[in-house]
Amino acid sequence: MRRTILLVEDDSAIVEVLAQYLKDEGFSVTSASDGPSAVAVFIQTQPDLVVLDINLPGFPGTEVLRRIRAERDVPVIMLTARVNESDRVVGLELGADDYIGKPFSPREVVARVKSVLHRTEREERKERPGERRHGHHVGGIAIDDRAHEIRVDDELVNLTPTQFRILDALASNVGQTLTRTQLLECVSTDADIEDRTLDRHIANLRARVERDPAHPHYILTVFGVGYKMRAPS
C-alpha cells in the first residue's frame, strides 16, 4: 500500500527537496504552506504521516497539531529551526512522535518517516480486527491496546500517543525496571532529543494516572537506571 505523507512547510525549496526524496522512496506526497491550509489538506487527503514545521504563517505548527489530533490520531514528525528546548517539549507534549531540528539532511527525514511508520504499523499489528481484545490491568489502571484507551478507576484518561506507549511498555513489564534506553526506543528513534524530555513525559503521565503524582504508587523511579511499574497491593 502506498503511504501518503503531508509536508507542512512554508519554505517551498525545502518542500520540493523533501517531496522528491519521499517520492523516490515510493511515498505519495501532499503539501501545505500555512496553518489553515495544513488542517484543510489534512482533512481532505487523510495522510498516513505528517511532517510539520513549527513556525508557520496563519497559525503555528503547535496549533496545527492540536487541530489534527482532534480529527484523527496520525503519526507526526515536527521540524523546527528554533533552539529553545521548550518548543520541542510543547510539541512532544501535544503528541508529536518525533522531532527534527533544522538544518537537516533529507535522507534523515526519510529515515525518520520510515521508522515512525514502521513502529506505528507494528503497534497496529499487535491485534488484528476480530481477535480477542487484549490489554493490561495494573491496580486501578486499565489499558486497552486495541481501542488505545486508558481508564483509571473506571474513568477515561486522555494520553498523548507518546505517553500511551510509555505506559503500555511499563504495564507490559510490571515489576521489571526498564532502562531509559528501553523506554526511549518505545518513544522515538532520536534518543538525543528524547532523553532530555523523557522525564517530562513521565511527570505528565504521573499527573494523569497517579492520585498523588508527587508520591507515585504506580510509576516508580529507579535512580540511575530508569523506571518501573508497580502493582499496588
Of residues 59, 73, 65, 55, the one with CA closest to residue 94: 65
The CA distance from 160 to 35, in Å, is: 21
Cell, residue 208: 494523569
Question: Considering the entire predicted model, what is its pTM?
Answer: 0.59
Q: Residues of the chain with pLDDT > 70: what percent?
A: 83
Q: Topology of domain 4-124, per CATH?
A: Rossmann fold (3.40.50)
The per-residue pLDDT for range 98-150, each reduced to its tens digit, is 888 888 899 999 999 998 888 777 665 554 444 434 567 888 898 887 777 88
Contact between 205 and 219 under an 8 Å Cβ cutoff? The reply is yes
End-to-end CA distance of the chain: 47
Cell numbers for 42, please give them: 489534512
Q: Which fold has domain 135-229?
A: Arc Repressor Mutant, subunit A (1.10.10)
DSSP 93: H
Whole-angstrom distance, CA of residue 123 vs CA of residue 101: 26
Q: Which residue has the cell 482533512?
A: 43
Q: d(Cα 168, Cα 72) in Å, to the nearest integer? A: 20
- Separation between Cα atoms, residue 91 and residue 101, nearest integer Å: 12
Looking at the chain, the domain(s) classified CATH 1.10.10.10 span 135-229
For the chain, the farthest-separated pair of C-alpha atoms sits apart, in whole angstroms, at: 58
The DSSP H or E segment spanning 170 is helix 161-171
Closest CA to 167 of 196, 145, 193, 134: 145
In the chain, which residues fall in CATH 3.40.50.2300? 4-124
The reported pLDDT for the residue numbered 106 is 93
Which pLDDT tens digit goes with each residue over 186-199? 766 444 445 667 88
